Chains A and B, each alone.
Chain A
Amino acid sequence: MSRREEEVVIIGGGPAGLAAALSAKKAGCERILILERDKELGGILNQCIHNGFGLHTFKEELTGPEYADRYIQMVLAEEISCLLRTMVTNISLEEDGWKVVTAMNKDQGLLEIRTKSVILAMGCRERPRGALNIPGYRPAGIYSAGTAQYYVNMEGRMPGRTVVILGSGDIGLIMARRMVLEGAKVQCVAELRPYSGGLKRNIVQCLDDFGIPLYLSTTVSAIHGRERVEGVTLTRVDENGKPIPGSEWEVPCDTLLLSCGLIPENELTVGLGAQMDAKTNGPVVNERLECSISGVFACGNVLHVHELVDHVSAEADKAGRFAAAYVQTEGRLI
């Protein structure tokens, strides 16, 4: 087992982790380590190749990878240490207030890192079909919008030809356009609520401009096809979200994309015993973005789901500073 000591360990190298690392460094911390399970830094931004990032932070419109790259360059320039392809599997507390982060990767095997402070920046995951409890078969062809985005943008592969999208969150809207640009037919976007959760500009630029209908107060009430999706039944819902009998209609498709919300990824936080907020699904934090366990901070989508990455960066900037302040009062390593 390889062991080391740090002042601040940051879990997750997405925009939150990167911004937090930079501000902790600026506030005087020297021993900072970012742990990222992916093969590169940047988090979910790497697969968001569309425009619309950074209007607040950089006053210009960037793509996701461009936005991430600005931060990555700064982190590299500051010579902040990062371990890639490294998965954190556990965080525990020692009696003297040190935290022990356990992680693993192919080169070093198991790692045990003792640290004064931890910044949680693990992001979030998409809500799966089961959470929506859509009845029907369980054929191939049902993907979360983010998974489809990964196939298309990262692998250059198409997960389907004729698509229905359930949920009008921004990822769903962006994937509607993406699939059309890649030659697929997008039949419609269905949204359970009477309004879309996505940004107005995305509705205009991703649906209206391509003539894709958006059905509000509508849900998928059945999935057809045994091996591969062959179609879905759409149903209007009343003000309580309950299907209105008789309002069903069928839409043929070979793919159903789900864009039904994101859930903060907090296994590690729960494992650590931090108090959780049932509303946000993130940890409860004080005004210093510190969890119920002192010296453990959280920022970005792990704390609550953010619409704009600019807000993530701003929040993470604060978390990095508070973590640095904590390290100062607890006694520096060097």
Chain B
Amino acid sequence: MKKYDVIIIGAGVSGCAIARWLAKKERTIAVLEKASDVCEGSSKANSGIVHAGHDARTGTLKARLNVRGNEMMDALSKELDFPFRRNGSLVLCFEEISRPKLEELKERGEKNGVKGLEILSPEQVRELDPAISDDIVAALYAPSGGIVCPFGMNIALAENAAVNGVEFYLNHMVTEVKKCDGYIITAAGEKFSAPVVINAAGVYADAIHNMVSGQKIKITPRRGEYCLMDKNCGNLVHSTVFQLPSELGKGILVTPTVHGNLLVGPTAEDILDKEGVDTTAEGLSKVIELGGRSVNGLDGRLTITSFAGLRAHLELHGEEKQDFIIGEAEDAEGFFDVAGIESPGLTCAPAIGEYVAAMVNEKYPAPDKKDFIAVRKGIPNMAEATDEERHRLIAANPAYANVICRCEMVTEGEIVEAIHRPVGATTLDGVKRRTRAGMGRCQSGFCSPKTLEILARELGVDQSKITKAGGNSAILTGYTKDVVESAAQDNASMAGNAGKQADVGKGGRA
């Protein structure tokens, strides 16, 4: 039995933010995550928007945490070194009859505490962003709207938690939570116990909650599909462009990403399957079609990849709940839910971390951790470095001169660093989310064999053991005949021939 003061279930952005804030006090903390890496749930597939805060109903926890999270983002992104930019956002209004709704949105935002909201005329909008559609009648401008790298933030929080003593158990799916003088948790066949449990299990937060509480909740995954476009159209717009919700639905947004691509989406569709992150032909064509209403010159052919994420849409007592559930379950002392964290959960994450930590600290006080490390430095980024920085990095480690991913210019040095960080990468997707190797326009066609080789070398395993994203997702299935035959021959001729072994893996060209 492994004992901790606090156990957090789920290593998405919520769980990792909570871990990081809880680690500011002297206590032992474990994070149990079913996937092979942090940031494998909703936190990896979303719009990456730091919302201003005008959407959520005034008075809700969502509204409060949104505005607070937005406020915290500048300082946090510097402290933990992840990409964030305040590019401002626009909500487009296409018909005069909808104008009152736009004004309502502005008022609500102001009540929520959002600063600088302004309704702009079409001319003002196009001065800001010339590619916006000629069909608009007005737009709500929010200067505090921003964009963030969702993986960058999630991983930064996890790394910082880890250097402050938080232990991460990956590939640990929680299958049982039992209440008995604290909680006993079973994950991947191992037993863990803690007086305090935080349920940050994303779309599965209902299953975890229902293991200990009689007041059942239900989470419906609401799928959102996206198209990610090539960097060569990344500056089509520089604000995040929303559409005012209408009969046609909630609207499709078009936004630049912090890395200079253009992102278009998401759709919204309730589905049954909590692993249903597949894209559909209808969804993807809808994304491009509706996105094209907002922005002139949106070209679907520039899509380099598409993906889908699941919002954790909550029902309580059979009714839709319009707010997050964050707090101690009424009938389970020490069990804290962080459930129904749908949009704007990414924006809220730092505020959720702060809020949950305050709640736990109040009930379960602990002394301050004197040597808490608040600052984390990210992996060097050769693509964005100046020539002097490049020179310095290469002088210290020549691997920074060996380009592995040509599209995004990621070097061996960066990949090795990503692998050896706290909670480091063990999969191709893990390397990709930490360094961007494979995220560019060729989508890893060129670099994946090389990244695979580096992963295997640095982790000290055979390449056949390396997966795309854990589980049964190995990249390679075996050797070619030449290699198998020459290995067999080598075995037959046995000793004295040991040198030949080195050829295994290159034998294909014989």
Residues of chain A touching chain B, judged by Cβ–Cβ distance below 8 Å, are 1, 37, 49, 65, 85, 87, 89, 102, 104-107, 109-110, 125-126, 128-131, 133, 135-140, 143-144, 146-147, 150-161, 181-183, 221-223, 226-228, 243, 254-255, 265, 267, 270
Contact B508 A133 (CB under 8 A): no
| Alpha-carbon distance between A140 and B466 when the two chains are bound, in angstroms | 11
Known A-B contacts A153-B509, A182-B481, A254-B477; the reply to A106 vs B401 at CB < 8 A is yes
Closest to A89 in B: B409
Selected from A130, A152, A155, the residue in CB contact (under 8 A) with B305 is: A130
Question: In the complex, which of the residues B278, B448, B483 contacts A137, with contact meaning CB atoms closer than 8 Å?
Answer: B278
Please indicate the chain B residues that have their CB under 8 angstroms from the CB of A147 in the complex.
445-446, 448-449
CB 8 Å contact bits of B363-402 with A (1 = contact, 0 = none) = 0000000000000000000000001001100110011011
How far is it, in angstroms, between the C-alpha of A227 and the C-alpha of B427 when the chains are bound? 13
Which of A106, A140, A221 has the most C-beta atoms of chain B within 10 angstroms of its own C-beta? Answer: A140
Are B305's CB and A227's CB within 8 A? no
Does B107 lie at the interface of the complex (its beta carbon under 8 Å from any beta carbon of A)? Answer: no
Contact of B394 among A109, A138, A150, A265 (CB under 8 A): A109
Inter-chain contact A153/B508, CB cutoff 8 Å = yes
Report B284-315 CB contacts with A as 1/0, cut-off 8 Å.
10000000000000001101111100000000
- Residue of A whose beta carbon sits closest to that of B229: A130
CB nearest neighbor in B for A182: B480
State the Cβ distance, B474 to closest chain A Cβ, in Å: 6
Partner of B445, one of A146, A157, A181, A255: A146
Which among A1, A129, A151 has the highest number of chain B CB atoms within 10 Å? Answer: A151
Task: Please tell me which one of the listed residues A37, A110, A160 contacts residue B387 in the complex, with CB atoms under 8 A apart.
Answer: A110
Interfacial chain A residues near B305, Cβ < 8 Å = 128-130
CA separation between A102 and B385, bound complex, in Å?
A: 14
A135–B507 touching, CB < 8 Å: no
**Bound form: Cα–Cα A131–B232 in Å:** 14
Tell me, rounded to whole Å, the shortest Cβ–Cβ distance linking A164 to chain B: 15
B111 CB-CB contact with A under 8 Å: no
Partner of A128, one of B445, B464, B472, B477: B445
What are 14 sample pairs from A and B whose C-beta atoms fall under 8 A apart?
Answer: A104-B390, A106-B399, A110-B387, A110-B390, A128-B304, A130-B443, A135-B281, A135-B284, A135-B306, A136-B279, A146-B445, A153-B509, A156-B505, A270-B232
CA distance A128 to B281 in the complex (A): 17
Contacts of B387 in A (CB 8 A): 1, 102, 110
Quick one: closest A residue to B280, CB to CB?
Answer: A135
Contact indicator B307/A138 (Cβ below 8 Å)? yes
**Contact A159 B409, CB 8 Å, known A104-B401, A133-B284, A138-B307:** no
Residues on the A chain within 8 Å of B401, using CB: 104-106, 109-110
Q: Which of A87, A140, A267 contacts B468 (CB 8 A)?
A: A140
Given contacts A125-B442, A155-B449, contact A130 B228 (CB under 8 A): yes
With A130-B305, A158-B478, A159-B475 in contact, is A150–B390 under 8 Å at CB?
no
By secondary structure, the A interface counts as mixed
10 A-B pairs closest in CB distance: A130-B305, A128-B443, A156-B508, A140-B473, A140-B468, A156-B483, A227-B472, A106-B398, A87-B403, A109-B394
List, in ascending order, chain B residues with CB within 8 A of A105's CB.
401-402
| Residues of the B chain whose Cβ atoms lie less than 8 Å from the Cβ of A143 | 445, 448
Nearest B residue (CB) for A108: B401
Contacting pair A106 B402 (CB below 8 A): yes
Complex alpha-carbon distance, A49 and B509, angstroms: 7
Cα(A106)–Cα(B468), bound, Å = 28
Assess the A126–B468 pair: CB atoms within 8 A: no
From residue B468, how far is it (CB to closest CB) to chain A in Å? 4
Number of B residues contacting the other chain (C-beta, 8 Å)? 64
Q: Which residues of A contact B307 (CB under 8 A)?
A: 138
* Contact of B203 with A by CB under 8 A: no
Interface centre among A106, A153, A159, by most B CB within 10 Å?
Answer: A106
Cβ contact within 8 Å between A157 and B476: yes
Minimal beta-carbon separation of A177 from chain B (angstroms): 13
Query: Which chain B residue shows the least CB distance to A104?
Result: B401
Q: Closest residue of chain A to B438, judged by CB?
A: A128
Nearest CB of chain B from residue A231's CB, rounded to whole Å: 13
Contact of B508 among A129, A152, A223 (CB under 8 A): A152
**In the complex, which residues 440-456 of chain B have their Cβ closer than 8 Å to any Cβ of chain A?**
441-446, 448-449
With contact pairs A128-B445, A130-B228 given, residues A157 and B473 touching in the complex (Cβ less than 8 Å): no
Q: Which residue in A135, A158, A254 is a CB contact (below 8 Å) of B278? A: A135
Complex contacts, A137 vs chain B, CB 8 Å:
277-278
A98 vs B47: C-alpha distance in the bound complex, in angstroms? 44
From B387, B474, B480, name the one whose CB has the most chain A CB atoms within 10 angstroms. Answer: B480
Of A105, A153, A157, the most chain B CB neighbours within 10 A belong to A157
**B390 contacts across to A, CB distance below 8 A:** 104, 110
- Rounded to whole angstroms, the CA-CA distance of A324 and B480 in the bound complex is 45
Given contacts A129-B443, A161-B477, contact A155 B275 (CB under 8 A): no
Residue of A nearest to B448 (CB): A147
Q: Are B476 and A227 in contact (CB under 8 A)?
A: no
Q: Is the beta-carbon distance between B480 and A139 smaller than 8 angstroms?
A: no
Q: For A89, what are the chain B residues with a Cβ–Cβ distance below 8 Å?
A: 403, 409
* Complex contacts, B402 vs chain A, CB 8 Å: 85, 105-106
Residue in A closest to B446 when the chains form the complex, CB atoms:
A125
- Asked whether B275 lies within 8 Å of A226 as measured between CB atoms, the reply is yes
Residue of B nearest to A139 (CB): B473
- Chain B nearest CB: distance from A258 CB in Å? 9
Provide the bound-state CA to CA distance between A157 and B283, in Å.
Answer: 36
Which listed residue (B304, B473, B478, B481) contacts A131, Cβ 8 A? B304
Flag if A156 contacts B477 (CB, 8 Å).
no
B399 touches A131 (CB 8 A): no
Could you tell me the distance between the alpha carbons of A111 and B305 in the complex, rounded to whole angstroms? 34
B25 within 8 A of A: no
CA distance A105 to B403 in the complex (A): 8
**A158 contacts which of B398, B443, B467, B479 (Cβ < 8 Å)?**
B479
Q: Given contacts A135-B284, A140-B473, are A156 and B391 in contact (CB under 8 A)?
A: no
Q: Give the shortest distance, in Å, between B146 (CB) and chain A (any CB).
A: 26
